[in-house]
Amino acid sequence: MPPRTPDGDGAGDGTALVRRLLHAQFPHWADLPLTPTGSAGTSNAMYRLGTDMVVRLPRTAGAADDVDKEHRWLPRLAPGLPASVPTPLGRGAPVEGYPWPWSVYGWLEGENPVVGRLAEPAALAGDLAAFVAALQRVGPAGAPPAYRGEPLAARDRATRSAIDVLRTEVDAAAAGAVWEAALAAPEPQGRPVWVHADLQPGNLLVADGRLSAVIDFGCTGLGDPAVDTIAAWYVLPAAARGVFRAALGTDDATWARGRGWALSIALMELRHYRGTHERMASIARSVLGELLAGGEG
């Protein structure tokens, strides 16, 4: 019998499981109100605990592997960043029926940005650039490799395969041209830098149109700075991308590689999520539409 994991909508047995975990390991929090957040995330189930905490349970073994990294590195990264990041308050242990470590974090206010309905796109672009730049300035000593820390060329076979599989849904010729341009761009110079590596709408919180927090650091580590420019296509409208690029000081080679990263990630997400997770598939389609619409923006 497979181990019980939080159900997809965070209801029913998931809530009962969280309550049982709290009673066993954090009894001082066990009787606080517990409410599923309705998060559309695919890696973790989230439950608001009281008014100022959240319980985060991995849904997969891969997400569980990220718990140690976040508890170790988030407190070290936070002081140098201009937006809030999750504060670890407790690390839960596996129990019978639930095989992975889990976490209690401080609650962060804000809403996920809705692509196409941003209140202050230019201001948000500047905020995102400031966050990325600050993260890159954090010292790299002892840092782990990012989940997307491999050279872009290492994704060549998988990306071309995704283009072929999706040729009835995307313009294969245009996708191939963007990919070729990205591969032709010079490789990054200098040492790898800290990257979040997954700056998508679901991992950002905004308040009054401005970036208030960045969450889910499971992919973070050292990598190509181009990886975090995916926010330009995943979050921002075309008119605000120049603001983001100028504020970050991104050169042509890094921008081209960033387009390649965004293309590759979106293609693989669309292939994986179509028919199973419409929200994620819809975001991937939107990104691909922006990337393949023409131009370099």
CB 143 within 8 A of CB 221: yes
- pLDDT given at position 12: 41
DSSP state of 143: P
- pLDDT given at position 6: 46
DSSP-assigned states of every residue in 111-126: B---TT--SSHHHHHH
Round to whole Å and give the CA distance between 107 and 255. Answer: 34
Q: How far is CA 153 from CA 44, 159, 160, 163, 253, in A?
A: 30, 10, 11, 15, 14
CB 105 within 8 A of CB 72: no
Round to whole Å and give the CA distance between 116 and 43. Answer: 25
- pLDDT given at position 42: 78
- pLDDT given at position 4: 39
pLDDT averaged over 10-residue windows placed end to end, the chain, 297 residues: 38 79 97 85 90 95 94 97 98 94 97 93 98 97 95 97 96 97 95 97 96 96 98 97 98 98 98 92 95 75
- pLDDT given at position 196: 98
Sequence-distant (6+) residues with CB within 8 A of 221 are 69, 143, 144, 145, 146, 147, 149, 194, 195, 197
Round to whole Å and give the CA distance between 243 and 279. Answer: 27
Round to whole Å and give the CA distance between 237 and 29. Answer: 42
- pLDDT given at position 14: 87
DSSP-assigned states of every residue in 160-193: HHHHHHTTTTS-HHHHHHHHHHHHHSPPPPSS-E
| Phi then psi dihedrals of residue 182, to 5 deg | -65, -40
CB 260 within 8 A of CB 181: yes
DSSP-assigned states of every residue in 202-269: GGEEEETTEEEEE---TT-EEE-GGGGGGHHHHT--HHHHHHHHHHHT--HHHHHHHHHHHHHHHHHH
DSSP state of 153: G
Cα 166 off chain centre by: 23
**CA-closest candidate to residue 54, choices 65, 45, 43:** 45
Question: Is pTM, for the whole model, over 0.95?
Answer: no
- pLDDT given at position 43: 86
Q: How far is CA 39 from CA 52, 87, 93, 94, in A?
A: 17, 18, 23, 22
CB 39 within 8 A of CB 277: no
**CA-closest candidate to residue 70, choices 105, 42, 41, 18:** 105
